[in-house]
A = this chain, B = another copy of it.
């Protein structure tokens, strides 16, 4: 059994990790920390876990994280980087669901996250945990930077085009829509029900922290710096991301075959038949990314539609997938939930 600790369990990625790990046959949940809620059973905060997760929140000091095999950080940005070195030194593997180790250029990271990085030397060692790209590196890693939700949906959608060199790299557009759980569980006015329900809006058009993360990936796929515009929107879903991607194709190619071949062996990427439109609910609660590729009216614009559950493939599910790879388990262990429809 893998001994698992979770740091920061009071947000949505925390409860989602618990929902998935509680049914993982190779996992022994050892600790979940929250300094503020120490002593409270997690099932009191998250009643769906009643009868299924017996743990109570503990302080970081009591949690014994250094005796775990792996620790997940489901914390705000800037927390994992403070604690990672000590855990690695103790032989514990670390999977950070926040952004501390996602961006290789520390200056870029510090500019976007407005903090000084606490351990820049570990950034190079960290493996970006998108298994469809980095599976082998993940298997041998000590430290995994679990991708962001938008970056997962957008990168998986652009990947086949850029790897194959069939898209003009200078004008890539990602118009992305996220459910409100993506904004977290900390109470803020703009994510109140009466503000976000029956409402639709863009935000952060001037610049979103997932832009440099995505651009880093796209640059790498394309082998050159790309021109990339990213517009996120808030939509009245609880869960779900829908990324609509636009690019110009540079040569004639069977796009459907290109996508199907690229993802042929991937258990968690489902390329839909030509002409399809994936729905976010088809992956609600599931670790799947569903993708469709279109070329409207045979023009030179390609449109890729990519959907995930932001809390599963976009966060906790991908983190468990990475853990499975790290420990040599079947990649889909405890990740077999079928999307809940309706």
Q: What is the distance, in angstroms, from A247's C-beta to the closest C-beta of chain B? A: 10
Please tell me if A240 contacts chain B, counting CB pairs below 8 Å: yes
Pairwise interchain contact B248-A207, C-beta atoms closer than 8 A: no
Count A-side interface residues using an 8 Å CB cutoff: 85
Q: What is the distance, in angstroms, from A8's C-beta to the closest C-beta of chain B? A: 16
Please tell me if A128 contacts chain B, counting CB pairs below 8 Å: no
Question: A207-B297, A229-B303 known; A180 and B194 CB under 8 Å?
Answer: yes
Q: Of all chain B residues, which has the CB nearest A311?
A: B342
Q: What are 13 contact pairs spanning A and B, CB under 8 A?
A: A19-B340, A47-B282, A48-B284, A48-B341, A50-B270, A187-B187, A193-B195, A199-B280, A200-B240, A201-B307, A205-B296, A206-B294, A231-B296
Q: What is the distance, in angstroms, from A115's C-beta to the closest C-beta of chain B? A: 21
Q: Chain A residues in contact with chain B, CB under 8 A?
A: 12, 15, 19, 22-23, 46-52, 171, 173, 175, 177, 179-181, 183, 185, 187-189, 191-203, 205-207, 227, 229-231, 233, 235-240, 242, 244, 246, 248, 270, 272, 275, 277-286, 290, 294, 296-297, 299, 301, 303, 305, 307, 311, 336-342
Pairwise interchain contact A342-B294, C-beta atoms closer than 8 A: no
Q: What is the distance, in angstroms, from A167's C-beta to the closest C-beta of chain B? A: 13
What separation, in Å, do the CA atoms of A319 and B66 have in the docked complex?
45
Chain B contacts for A239, CB-based, 8 A: 198, 342
From B15, B207, B307, A341 is in contact (CB under 8 Å) with: B15
Pairwise interchain contact B296-A12, C-beta atoms closer than 8 A: no
From B22, B227, B233, B342, A194 is in contact (CB under 8 Å) with: B342
Chain B contacts for A240, CB-based, 8 A: 198-200
What separation, in Å, do the CA atoms of A212 and B272 have in the docked complex?
27
Most chain B CB within a 10 A radius of its CB, from A206, A236, A270, A342: A342
Question: A48-B340, A340-B19 known; A277 and B181 CB under 8 Å?
Answer: no
Pairwise interchain contact B205-A171, C-beta atoms closer than 8 A: no
What separation, in Å, do the CA atoms of A207 and B296 have in the docked complex?
7
